[in-house]
A and B are shown apart, each in its own frame.
Chain A
Amino acid sequence: MDKLNTLKHSELSDLFNKDEERVNWHDDTLWWIRAKRDKAAHGISEWELLRETASQIKNNVLSNLYNYLIEFESKAQANGIKVHWAANAEEHNKIVLSLLQSKGINQMVKSKSMLTEECHLNQYLEDNGIDVIDSDLGERIVQLAKEPPSHIVLPCIHKKKEEIGQIFHENLGTEAGVSDPQILTETARIHLRETFLTRKSALTGVNFAIAETGEFVVCTNEGNADMGAHLADIHIACMGIEKIIPKKKHLSVFLRLLTRSATGQPITTYSSHFKKPRKGQEMHIVLVDNGRSIQLGREDFRNSLKCIRCGACMNTCPVYRRSGGHSYHNAIAGPIGAILAPNLDMKEYADLPFASTLCGSCTNVCPVKIDIHDQLYKWRQVIVKEGNTTVAKTIAMKVMDFTLSSPTRFKLAGKIGRWTLKHAPFTVNNQFNLWFKNREMPEAPKESFSEWYKRNNTEK
């Protein structure tokens, strides 16, 4: 029980921090995006009111999800879209596979969908003989590198252009040593155009689905979702059940917030509203639960389901910027990943809520006002109560409680501590003290404040 996974994030961050220059580069890149987000937000005087409005709409969605899903289903069906329900990742993957197999298709082009990452769809399809090509440039890069995305909006933000150049050289035949983003993007454009034109099936994610009309909206900058969907005979859109919004007019609020929060852009290049299949085309929607209905029942954590996947909390998180997305060992990294993941597997992700200083910046940038840092704190309590901690930590905490519960014991412990620091610093300043690895211990004063006070104040 003691050999738990609780050290995972810290271990992976430790490795990431072996190359400090790279950490600086990663941190600066993401901070630059955060700065762009700030500039965009500060350009809108009603920004905070917009956030509040978005938050209220999403609260309403969670409180009425049952009806909205049923409404969406019937409207979508009336529009000629086929609706499927998947209780978990496995069902989701099976549904997608069977749709492809029923058409005799063995190749698919896919645009960005964090849900399919969560369900590990690519691996499943490949195991079943389906060739999947990711069409978002960043996703294509990590796919070629055989890595998961490290960020929900910027999948290959952890990769330097020289590394990407090498990947392209090995896989797409560019000249060795070429790392100009312009040239690499052009190469990917040509390579993926060929893919778009030859794939009979396209899978996209969903940013918003509208209960009122049964349509869904997909936002991209590259145009890859549209290129895939409008050329394919069968379009499969996969969405978590929380992506529903009540009415079309609510998109005005979300589309104003989404990209400004994500990258500082005023809106994505394409915000496509899919309502009916093209003539001769099949359109499917897979509604996926995969733990969401459980999270909905967790009062303290349900509003994490308000997330619109903008990634702002990652860009602002001082820990994420210095530990990299892969340190979260989950499809969704960063602060939002850390409050979503324990719902799926508390033991596996017990470390994530502790990978934060609780600085609260994530909560401030969240466009739908998820109280991310408060939930991190609450998950810590739940994780410990459920036993996903170490015996050593529990003992340390019990000793702390024992000491701090009694003023006498506290004063004695303080005295011993200060004495040790002063007279036997080697017992503290050594390799077993993780503080000491990069920081000096505070200097021990000759007396504590309470001792000083006692000496100088006799009136009380």
Chain B
Amino acid sequence: MRVGLFVPCYVDQFYPNAAISTLNLLKKLGVDVYYPQNQTCCGQPMANSGYEHLTKNCNSLFIENFAEFDYVVSPSGSCVLHVKDHLHDDKREEDALKVRCKVYELVEFLTDILKVKEISASFPFKVGLHQSCHGQRGLHLSSMTELVDVPFSKPLQLLNQVKGIEMIELTRPDECCGFGGTFCVAEEAVSAKMGKDRVEDHLLNGAEYITAADMSCLMHMEGILKRQNSKVKVLHIAEILNAES
């Protein structure tokens, strides 16, 4: 099985550790993983702003980079969802469809494809899990409080295998952090307020770290935590699943 690692543009530039952990974790689990060097972005920032028609180049580039792999794996639920829902290419529509079917967010790749039952990681801290909306409601990484459904959580299924970790409960387990792509500046007041409220929930419930399967939400919450001079840190879930102590 050959796996292509898709590293979202902002993760590549600002959060290389999340990508390195993803790569190392996959390797540790015996996956034959490659990083195509010519990748850039899934096009979501433009599409969510109403400019999906400008994403054609990003789409072609994406297909060019990832068509050859059996699976495409990425440490971002939001970007994966975008690819799954919106990857098209007039010249290579069949390939686009294939990529849409084989792209996986890291957590679901571990639980559903690799069926990981044991993770050798240790992280003796109190951790709050932020349910990123696109991973949760879009990719169904976990059950949702709105729906009448059997409760499950793929991220927790993995985090609970980490030695020493203590997962905290949140008062509102799956509320949005308010990042929302360009929403974070276009609707600055509401976005920042949502971020503050989300961070507050983790702080009140005693989190030492906030984690998520999506770095963009964490970037937003990190910005707020830092402004408050908080000691609480954010870590991508791959960094915890890969943590040795």
User: Are A and B a genuine interacting pair, yes or no?
Assistant: yes
Are the C-beta atoms of A13 and B45 separated by less than 8 Å?
Answer: no
> In the complex, what's the smallest C-beta–C-beta distance from B119 to chain A, in angstroms?
22
Distance between Cα atoms of A437 and B195 in the complex (Å): 13
Are the C-beta atoms of A404 and B185 separated by less than 8 Å?
Answer: no
Q: Does A319 contact B (CB under 8 A)?
A: yes
Are the C-beta atoms of A318 and B194 separated by less than 8 Å?
Answer: yes
Contact flag A448-B16 (CB < 8 Å), given A322-B194, A440-B223: yes
Are the C-beta atoms of A440 and B189 separated by less than 8 Å?
Answer: no
Q: Does B149 contact A (CB under 8 A)?
A: yes
> In the complex, what's the smallest C-beta–C-beta distance from A4 to chain B, in angstroms?
13
Q: Does A73 contact B (CB under 8 A)?
A: no
Task: Mark contacts of B102-121 with chain A using CB atoms, 8 A cut-off: 1 yes-contact digit, 0 otherwise.
Answer: 00000000000000000000
Contact flag A356-B183 (CB < 8 Å), given A364-B144, A407-B40: yes
Are the C-beta atoms of A45 and B39 separated by less than 8 Å?
Answer: no
Are the C-beta atoms of A357 and B40 separated by less than 8 Å?
Answer: no
Are the C-beta atoms of A361 and B176 separated by less than 8 Å?
Answer: yes
Stretch with Cβ within 8 A of A (4 or more), from B48-56, B93-101, B122-130, B159-167: B48-56
Contact flag A441-B183 (CB < 8 Å), given A404-B40, A404-B57, A407-B37: no
Distance between Cα atoms of A199 and B211 in the complex (Å): 61
Are the C-beta atoms of B49 and A359 separated by less than 8 Å?
Answer: no
Q: Does A398 contact B (CB under 8 A)?
A: yes
Task: Mark contacts of A233-251 with chain B using CB atoms, 8 A cut-off: 1 yes-contact digit, 0 otherwise.
Answer: 0000000000000000000
Stretch with Cβ within 8 A of A (4 or more), from B6-14, B202-210, B237-245: B6-14
Q: How many residues of A contact B (CB 8 A)?
A: 75
Are the C-beta atoms of A13 and B51 separated by less than 8 Å?
Answer: no
New A-B contacts (4) at CB < 8 Å, excluding given A48-B147, A364-B146: A42-B148, A357-B179, A359-B180, A445-B17
Chain B residues within CB distance 8 Å of chain A = 7, 9, 11-17, 19-20, 23, 34-35, 37-41, 43, 45-55, 57-58, 61, 133-134, 137-138, 144-149, 172, 174-176, 178-181, 183-197, 219-220, 222-224, 226-227
Chain A residues within CB distance 8 Å of chain B = 9-10, 13-14, 16-17, 20, 23, 27, 31, 38, 41-42, 44-45, 47-48, 316, 318-319, 322-323, 354-361, 363-365, 377, 380-381, 383-385, 389, 393-394, 397-398, 400-401, 403-407, 410, 414, 417-418, 434-435, 437-445, 447-450, 452-454, 457, 460
